[in-house]
Amino acid sequence: MNWLRHQGKRVLAPAAALGLLAGYLFALLPLKRQSENLKVPLRKEWTELARTLGDSNQLNLDFGAIASGLQHTRLALRTLDNTRARAAARCELSPATEARMQAPFQLVDYENERGRQQDELRELAAKLKATLAPAVFEGFPTHSTAVTEPTLLWAELEMVTGLLHTALQCGIPTIESLNVAYTPSNAPAAFTNAWPKEIPIQIELTAPAPAVKRLLQALPMRTNELAAAPSPLSVAAPKPAFYVERILLRKQTPAQLEEVKAIMRVTGFVFSPPR
């Protein structure tokens, strides 16, 4: 034991020196190499991040701002989703139309429904002593080989009938023309396949100014809202919200100063893509 202790003292210093050397060679040097190796990707990714942020001061990056930026973006997305949901609710089509849009398009069904709707409108116009010019019925959406999304015809049909029903109920005595054209919005090309789709409807009518104003006020309302309005309107056909895109009102004759001719382009929106 004592011999071991004595020998231990003698070998302690060389062993310690060897240990130090081993520590330097096998621990410190690899760590330094690892540190140097880490510097390259760190510098690269740091610079890349700084460049992405447009930060001229590359020594300090505001990581907190990056995280909060993401939160703000998510908040904005949530706000937009809420907005979209509300907008979709206002522009929602009737369940029957939604179901027809989801089913394969059958021209015969569509033509039958279009005829039925036109008959109803004729009856309503006769009842209200209003005039619907033939051009109005000619302007109803029809199917042709140029129609790329025939299921949208159902939406257009509901919008047209809803608009005409509303106009008649608002006391419009003469509706001279109507035209429907699905067209992409003026959004950039990348968004043209996106939803909602705009359905612009152009209508031309002659009526007393109060009736036109009533129609304008009724356009953004849905059928149930019209019934609950201060001056309730009973519209038999389902009607989504319309928004006025273009308008021109002008007096017609000095004899009837209250009468105005109105040319309007109103837009409805379809949120649900057909199957």
Partner 1 sequence: MPNAAHLNTIRRVLAVDAGRRRLKLTLLEKHSNRIKIIQEESVDLQEEGLVTAEELKQYLQTTLDTWGRPPIAITLPQHLSNSHLIDLPPGSEAEAQQLIEAEVVKLSGVSDTPIISDFVRVGATPTGRPQYWVTLAKEGDVEGLIQLLGLQEANLCDVSTAANSLATTYLATVPTATQTILIHLGAQHTLVVVRHQAQTVYAGSFPTGSDSFTRALAQARHCSAAEAEQLKQHSETLGGAAPVPEMVAAVNRWAIELRRFIEAALQQNQKLRADAAAFIYAASGLGFRQPGLLTYLNHQLGMSLQVWPKQRYSPGAGFEIVHGTALQALGATTQPVSLLPAPRQEHWQQHRNTQRLARINNVLLVIASLLLIASLWHCIAQVMNQKNLLHKVREATEVLRTEQALTTQFQTEYENLRPLLQARQNTHDLLETLDLLEQTRSNRSFWFILIADQKSYFHGLHYATTAHAGATNVYGPWLLETGRPTATATNRSPARPGLIAELSVPENLDDARQVLSSIVNDLKSRPLFSKVDLLTDDLRQNLADPKVLLPERHFALALNFSNTIFQALPPAGRSRFDEPGTGRFSRRAGESPQPDLIQ
Give, as ranges, the residues between 119 and 178 that touch partner 1 (CB under 8 A). 135-136, 138-144, 146-150, 152-153, 156, 176-178
3-class secondary-structure state, position 75: helix
Q: Counting contacts by CB under 8 A, is residue 25 touching partner 1?
A: no
Q: How far is the CB of 158 from partner 1 (least distance, A)?
A: 13
Closest CB to partner 1 among residues 20, 229: 20
Among 7, 26, 86, 123, binds partner 1 (CB under 8 A): 86
Q: Counting contacts by CB under 8 A, is residue 272 touching partner 1?
A: no
Give the list of residues 6+ apart from residue 97 with CB closer than 8 angstroms, or none: 154, 155, 157, 158, 238
Q: Counting contacts by CB under 8 A, is residue 263 touching partner 1?
A: yes
Closest CB to partner 1 among residues 200, 238: 200
- The strand pair at 243-251 and 259-270 is best described as antiparallel
Burial readout 205-216 (b: 16 or more C-beta within 10 A, e: otherwise): bbbbeebbebbb
Q: How far is the CB of 60 from partner 1 (least distance, A)?
A: 12
Closest CB to partner 1 among residues 119, 245: 245
Closest CB to partner 1 among residues 33, 116: 33
Among 55, 171, 173, 243, binds partner 1 (CB under 8 A): 243
Q: Which amino acid is at 11?
A: V
Which of the residues 90 through 119 are near partner 1 (CB under 8 A)? 90-91
Q: How would you classify residue 70: left for phi > 0, otherwise alpha for psi between -120 and 50, otherwise beta?
A: alpha
Among 111, 119, 123, 245, binds partner 1 (CB under 8 A): 245
Cis peptide before 196 (omega within 30 of 0): yes
Instruction: Report how far Cα 162 is from the mean position of its chain's Cα atoms.
Output: 22
Which of the residues 50 through 79 are near partner 1 (CB under 8 A)? 52-53, 61, 63, 66-67, 69-70, 72-77, 79
The strand pairing partners of 259, in sequence order, are 208
Which of the residues 3 through 22 are near partner 1 (CB under 8 A)? 3, 5-6, 13, 16-17, 20
Q: Which amino acid is at 220?
A: P
Q: How would you classify residue 44: left for phi > 0, otherwise alpha for psi between -120 and 50, otherwise beta?
A: alpha
Q: How many residues of this chain bind partner 1 (CB under 8 A)?
A: 108
Contact 91, 241 (CB under 8 A): yes
